[in-house]
Amino acid sequence: MISKWSQRFFQMAELVGSWSKDPSTQVGAVITKNNRIVSVGFNGYPHGISDSADTDDRDMKYLKTLHAEENAILFAKRDLDGCEVWVTHFPCPNCAAKIIQTGISTVHCPEQTEDFLSRWGEKIKISQDMFSQAGVTVDWLPLDSLK
C-alpha cells in the first residue's frame, strides 16, 4: 500500500497530464520537496508555438514537443536538488539525463504494463541504468494502489 501523499501526487500528475493537447499521449509530472509542490508540467509545444497546425504530423510533433518532465523542470526556475518527481510514464533517456542533472533524488512512477514495456522497453532499460549509475531512486508504484 502506498501513502496518501503518493496517491495525491500521482493523481495530481494525472490531472496535469490531462491538460496536454496531444491526442495520443498525455503525460504529467509533479516535482515536490518535503510534501510540497514545487512545479508541474505536461507534454506539449513551447509557449507561442501553434499546437494545432502540425499536430497530425507525428515527426514534426515529436520535434517540437517538450516532455512533461522537461516542462516541470523549466517551470520550477529554482534549485531542484533533493526534490522528487512524480510522473505518469517512466522517463525517456533524455528526460532521465535532465532529472539527474538537476539533482532530483527520486522518481515515482506506476509499474509498467506489458503493452508499455513492449513499445518502450529498450528506452526504459537505458533510463533505469542511468538512474542507477547516478544514484537516483526509482519508486515503482503498484497499479492497483493508484486507483
- 37-69: per-residue pLDDT in tens? 999 999 999 999 887 755 567 788 888 899 999
Stretch 2-25: mean pLDDT, rounded? 93
> C-alpha dihedral over 4, 9, 10, 15, to 10 degrees?
130
Is 92 marked as binding a ligand?
Answer: yes
Each residue of 95-122: pLDDT tens digit? 999 999 999 999 999 988 788 778 888 8
Right CATH for 4-145 from 3.40.1390.10, 2.102.10.10, 3.40.50.970, 3.40.140.10? 3.40.140.10
The more confident residue out of 103 and 2 is 103
69 is catalytic: yes
To the nearest 10 degrees (0 to 180), the angle between helices 93-102 and 68-76 is 20
**Residues 6 or more apart from 38 whose CB is under 8 A from it?**
31, 32, 76, 78, 80, 83
The more confident residue out of 144 and 9 is 9
* Model pLDDT, residue 51: 75
Marked catalytic residue, from 69, 70, 114, 122: 69
The more confident residue out of 53 and 135 is 135
Is 95 marked as binding a ligand?
Answer: yes
Domain regions of the chain by residue span: 4-145
Rounded Cα–Cα distance for residues 31 and 137 (Å): 14
